[in-house]
Structure 1
Amino acid sequence: MVPGTELRQLYNKKLLFLAISLLMITIGIKIYSTLTFPHITDWNYRHLQLIDKKRETFSFAVFGDNKNSITTFDNLIKKVNAEDVLFAIDIGDLVEDGEREKFRFFINQIRHSDKPLLTAIGNHELREDGRGTYYNLFGRFYYSFTVGDAYFIILDDANEYNLDPWQMQWLKEQLEKSLKYKYRFVFMHVPLFDPRTEGLRIAHNLKDVKLAKHLDTLFNEYNITMLFASHIHAYYRGVWGRTPYIITGGAGAELVGTDPEHDFYHYIKVTVSDAGVSYEVKRVKSPDFEIIDRMAHDVWIYIYAFFVLHYLDVILVILLIYFILTIRSMRRGRARL
């Protein structure tokens, strides 16, 4: 046997041993991460206990549609941490889909929030049978609470169609209770209607238009202070009937257009006092408003998120390919001898 061939075979054996070692370590980490899913229950209930309910003057932050965003959502959390807000509410599409690993990633992100952070369920949480995982982590799908003279109602319209009869009855009871309070805030992921009226193939609002109109009438009747929604990856503010609304879907997911007045990353800072309620749009760094820049940014955030969320799977695939190619190469070498 030629000395150079022996050295090459020895080198290949060492590389193969290293690849097998890395493969076993990666598999071990994968199994460990699967078995050690965050032991969190009733996140929203626990965070509600951290809010000072007696405050008459306070601020809170509202945002939605981060969808496992990495850089933008992390920056948003840092900016909210720097704000003088009592708590924050993420109104849905917390993850790209309901895979457990994506919920794990979101939990690790919001653990960096130093404010109590509440959630509403969005349509993306329902994918891959994620509703059960959401419930196990965050608790009830709809709930209410009070702070000072303000009543907060969080709804579940994640099916994008309607509210079930039990939730509708619950909502009417909550609205009746809210009349004792000066301010009434309602939060839902999918908006009643889509404020964009031109050039739309599919409107991003409740599919049951009859129910949407009924809810609008109900909110008008109970004089809702503000209705918050997301689902549309942009910022809009207006009035449906007599009910003012804000759509805040700019927490990190792909943006839907290039209009500087609407299509940018942001969150809303709401300040409540006896004198009234004010709303401030807080912008977060966004891509340029050119269509090419937006398209490139959208592609990049999906690629980046894929590798960050599935880096162990990528390593496993690369090692397996290397393992197979090396074995084949070694067999061919022996056959030649």
Structure 2
Amino acid sequence: MKKSGEAMKIKKIVNITIIALCLCLAAGVGVFIYNAESSYKINNDFESVPLQFNPDDSSSSYQMNNVEVTVYGGFIKGTKKDKNGTKSLVIRALSPLPSMKIKGKTTGNISLRLENINPDFYAKSIIANNLPTAKVAVNTLQLSVAFDVGEIINIEPVQPTGTDSSGKNKYVILGDNRDGYDTFAQIIQQANGLNPVFVIDNGDLVFSGKPNQYRLFDKTVGNISTTLCTTMGNHDIRGNGRDIYTMLYGPAYYSFDFADSHFVFLDSSPGWAEKQAISDEQYTWLENDLKKAQGKSIFVISHIPPQDPRSDVTKNEIPNYVNEVKENGNWLEEKLNNYSESKSMNHGFQDPNEAAKFENLMSTYRVDTVYLSHIHSYLEYTKDGVRYLITGGAGAELLTKDSYYHYMIAKIGDVKTATIVELPSPANNYISRYGATIQLFANAMYEENPVPVVFVIAGLVLLLILLIIKLYLWKKQPLESLWKWLIDVAIFAVKRFKELFSNKSGN
């Protein structure tokens, strides 16, 4: 009866553990799918509007409450309900100093919420307009504009002119932050300390275009205290990623002027999976845009480089990486090295003719620098007088030898100099780098899906408990016999010890 009762208890524990295991795994998988596939919603007080953007003059227009608002160098993102119940028109800047035109059809007042700017920098540039302004976030300014019937109000920030030899006006360039959240957060913190006029992120903002990944990225870049200028990478458009990107960050391609410099942002994200990287529509727009920008310093930003320079350049040896593996020193390291060197390294345009077309456009219209990423490293090459800088070290895995985490700093008006800032990176051998990659993906999985990960880990712990119980039941009799034998050995040892030492003391 005793054994039967014990068996019933064990069976009950097993059944409860199995139910808990199934619930944990089901909850983990369910929440993961919901986080990854659910529709993206910024918050309950925000309502997005369909993107209306004219890349020819970088303008976006919207009519709200008998007033028409047109923004140049930004786009109308949506409306936000304020705490007092009124609605603000949300404008996202695509440039550091967007201008606006407000045309009233009746007498009234409109609240404008201008996000993705440096509020202090922008407020100083429109001081002549004498508008009530309030800084509502680290990168958001609230403006209140009163108007009369038929009145047109132009908000035109004062643009800096000429070159800046002091280096006061600088910008930061980074790429391929993706799921390297720790490294990316370090870059944002350091960038804020530099107080740049804008930050360029040239693609692969997220790993696979999932809503939860964009939600985390958008929360992270909300800490940037200036304008963030983005372009899409091949990872960003996976799944429904392009639609989410458009809602959050606007058009696929655009341009703006700052001082005597012209910046052009292109969408080459299809180039990883499709033969043509940049659409014919973009090429037509690009050529017209470059024609209008002649006489300025021109910088073009895109994700996928026209060609992969890794096979044509001398390796960039990094002095502070001393963990190089000597020849025949480590079997596994040699195998990983052979694999990395033998696999395809072509991360440029798939069509060589398109690569030549792109590079010809750059040289024909005297582009100074093309900023690219896609390759998780720092590389550069010059073609027909145009400098191509590949900076893909903002957080994604580093598997190219001699690569390191980094970002770049450039000065407005200085077309020749760019400073590379290096961050802590995996040691320069493949074992360490593959290990760091596994850790990066594990951390990213938890950052993006903390609740599902906790449920799955709980399920795995319960599974381990079940296996231990199963092993115990399977080996119960041998274990009990072993336990008895160990007890008998211990008893005999104690008895024999006493006999030996008692006899010795008696002698």
Is contact 2:171-2:198 (8 Å) kept? yes
Q: Is the counterpart of residue 188 in structure 1 residue 302 in structure 2?
A: yes
Larger Rg: 2
Structure 2 matches for 1:144-183, cutoff 5 A?
A: 144-160=255-271, 161-180=276-295, 182-183=296-297
Name the structure 2 match of 1:81.
192
Q: Is the counterpart of residue 135 in structure 1 residue 275 in structure 2?
A: no
Q: 1:27 to 1:125 in 2, by over 3 A?
A: closer
Name the structure 2 match of 1:334.
none
- TM-score, length of structure 1 as denominator length: 0.82
Deviation, structure 1 residue 307: 1.9
Structure 2 matches for 1:2-13, cutoff 5 A?
A: none
Name the structure 2 match of 1:229.
372
- TM-score, length of structure 2 as denominator length: 0.56
Deviation, structure 1 residue 197: 1.3
Is contact 2:310-2:345 (8 Å) kept? no
Is contact 2:369-2:415 (8 Å) kept? no
Q: Is the counterpart of residue 293 in structure 1 residue 435 in structure 2?
A: no
Deviation, structure 1 residue 304: 1.3
Q: Is the counterpart of residue 66 in structure 1 residue 177 in structure 2?
A: yes
Query: Matched residues in 2 for 1:21 and 1:299: separation?
Result: 28
Q: 1:318 to 1:284 in 2, by over 3 A?
A: closer
Letter in 1 for 2:293: S
SS at match of 1:151: strand
Query: Matched residues in 2 for 1:163 and 1:35: separation?
Result: 28
Is contact 1:271-1:277 (8 Å) kept? no
Letter in 1 for 2:160: R
Deviation, structure 1 residue 201: 1.8
Q: 1:10 to 1:140 in 2, by over 3 A?
A: same
Letter in 2 for 1:106: F
Is contact 1:44-1:119 (8 Å) kept? no
In proportion to residue count, which structure has more strand? 2
State which drifts further: 306-315 or 22-31. 22-31
Name the structure 1 match of 2:225.
114
| Deviations 1:149-195, CA, capped at 9 Å, x for gaps | 11110000101132111111111111111114x21010010001111
Q: Which runs of 5+ in 1 are unaligned?
A: 330-337
Q: Percent identity?
A: 27
Letter in 2 for 1:134: Y
Query: Matched residues in 1 for 2:240 and 2:30: separation?
Result: 26
Q: Is the counterpart of residue 47 in structure 1 residue 93 in structure 2?
A: yes
Query: Matched residues in 1 for 2:8 and 2:277: separation?
Result: 71
Structure 2 matches for 1:209-248, cutoff 5 A?
A: 209-248=352-391
SS at match of 2:344: coil
Query: Matched residues in 1 for 2:400 and 2:311: separation?
Result: 14
Letter in 1 for 2:419: E
Deviation, structure 1 residue 270: 0.8
Deviation, structure 1 residue 318: 5.0
Q: Using CA pairs below 8 Å that are at least 6 residues apart, which structure has the higher relative contact order?
A: 1
Query: Matched residues in 2 for 1:305 and 1:315: separation?
Result: 14
State which drifts further: 300-309 or 190-199. 190-199
State which drifts further: 213-222 or 276-285. 276-285
State which drifts further: 280-289 or 224-233. 280-289
Query: Matched residues in 1 for 2:454 and 2:394: separation?
Result: 30
Number of aligned residue pairs: give it.
Answer: 321
SS at match of 1:118: strand
Q: 1:65 to 1:30 in 2, by over 3 A?
A: closer
Letter in 2 for 1:194: D
Structure 2 matches for 1:195-206, cutoff 5 A?
A: 195-197=309-311, 199=341, 201-206=344-349
Name the structure 2 match of 1:304.
443
Deviation, structure 1 residue 83: 0.9
SS at match of 2:238: helix
| Deviations 1:123-174, CA, capped at 9 Å, x for gaps | 0012223112211221101111111111110000101132111111111111
Picking from 393, 401, 419, the partner of 1:280 is: 419
SS at match of 2:370: strand
Q: 1:164 to 1:22 in 2, by over 3 A?
A: closer
Q: Is the counterpart of residue 270 in structure 1 residue 316 in structure 2?
A: no
Structure 2 matches for 1:309-320, cutoff 5 A?
A: 309-318=448-457
Letter in 1 for 2:229: L
Letter in 2 for 1:94: L
Is contact 1:44-1:118 (8 Å) kept? no
In proportion to residue count, which structure has more helix? 1
Name the structure 1 match of 2:42.
38
| Deviations 1:7-42, CA, capped at 9 Å, x for gaps | 999999999999999999999998997577324767
Letter in 2 for 1:47: A
The Cα RMSD (Å) is 3.5
Query: Matched residues in 2 for 1:165 and 1:276: separation?
Result: 28
Is contact 1:68-1:105 (8 Å) kept? no
Q: 1:87 to 1:10 in 2, by over 3 A?
A: same
Q: 1:255 to 1:10 in 2, by over 3 A?
A: closer
| Deviations 1:189-242, CA, capped at 9 Å, x for gaps | 000111111656240001121011011111101100110000000011220222
Letter in 2 for 1:210: N
| Deviations 1:57-102, CA, capped at 9 Å, x for gaps | 3211111001121111111111111113111010000111011111
